[in-house]
Structure 1
Amino acid sequence: MDVAMKTLVFAFLLTFVIERSSAVECYTCTSVSTADSDTCANPVDGTTLTTTCAGECQTTFTYLSNSITSVTRACVLTCIESDPMSGLGGDTDCCSTDKCNSESVSSQGDGDGDDGDSCYSCTWPLEDNCKIPDDTTRTCSGSKCSKTTVHNGDDLTSVTRACNAACSTSDIDFFGVKTETACCEGDKCNNAVYSVVSFVALFMSFIAAIYHTAL
């Protein structure tokens, strides 16, 4: 067997092992019934259909006027969580262990958006109590809390706190304007006060330390 063939076989076996090691078994079904006896609304091990895939388990409860109208369970490559807004839309949950998408219809809320964490929801400088949150700062409910700060050089120009169905941490520097977004989970966890330490100040402190050490 030549080198090229050995490499091809090795790559195939490696792919097979990775796929098997990351495979997850999920309940897979769709139902417009919310009755306790429905095996999709309330999965039953050994009865409800399952599928194995190299991805995540997903459950989506669809709401209309604060009531669940259907449930879909699936095995997907990539799962994105979402929340219903004011009792309307889809509530999607993701997980990554075998048959983890088993939450029943009866365990769900009414889709009014109050089932998540309480997060600060405001923008500074439009709101003075947003730069340093206090008891008067507005709040909202969501799966994840976020805080976004914008700096122009060393100067803070804005702070935005919000609640989100999904959140991605980012750090973007565009010609000296730096936008940073931090995500967290927990009641009012996006309460951190911004902190900026000037590079010049750090450099001067370093020089001063060396100077004093040399004396």
Structure 2
Amino acid sequence: MHLLTLIFGIVLLTKAHTLKCNQCDIGNPGSCAVKECPLAGQRCSALRLTSYAGGSKIMDVTTKSCVMAEECVEASVNFGISQTVIKNECCNSDFCNDKLSPVPSKTGPNGKKCFQCNGQDCTATLNCEGTQDHCLSGKVNTGSGTVTLKGCVSKLLCSPGNQDLTRTMGTDMSCCQGDYCNSASIKSAGILLLVAPLFSLVVLS
């Protein structure tokens, strides 16, 4: 009897800590519905992914959902010719994600420097911005061939533990720490494939 009471207590306690959040289809704010988060400890989130090329916005995708606390982040990847910013704002009460995440504010150089590619020449200097504290190097399959990319990236996007944060197309992406450390191919494996907005459509889960 005591065991049965304990089991019911655990089930009811878990239920009491499960949030109800607005959940929307990616890129379709009008599709929102209130749903109960499947896991205790999840938060309500409002996520925005914004990509720029040549100073112009080329993609602005929003969604709302339930996420784990570690997914409540702001991070970016910068190839010089293009940049993508991920902003996932979270809150911890029922229906609190009723507003869209705002467009990320403009950030300036942070002192970190990496190489970037201009065509086949990958010796140009790129000044990293905001949270971009690592360099990256790799190749992306565009469908018509393979393109070498180098640039700046936030450490968060280099973590294998955050692979569920993005679904991307690409190959052999790796990160490193230190100015201009992406001068040659990097041997590390298992690094998160990063966003390449000019060559692939990025969709967050």
Q: Give the TM-score category using the shorter length.
A: 0.3 to 0.5
Larger relative contact order (C-alpha < 8 A, sep ≥ 6)? 2
Structure 1 length-normalised TM:
0.40
Q: Report the structure number with the largest CA radius of gyration.
A: 1
Structure 2 length-normalised TM:
0.41
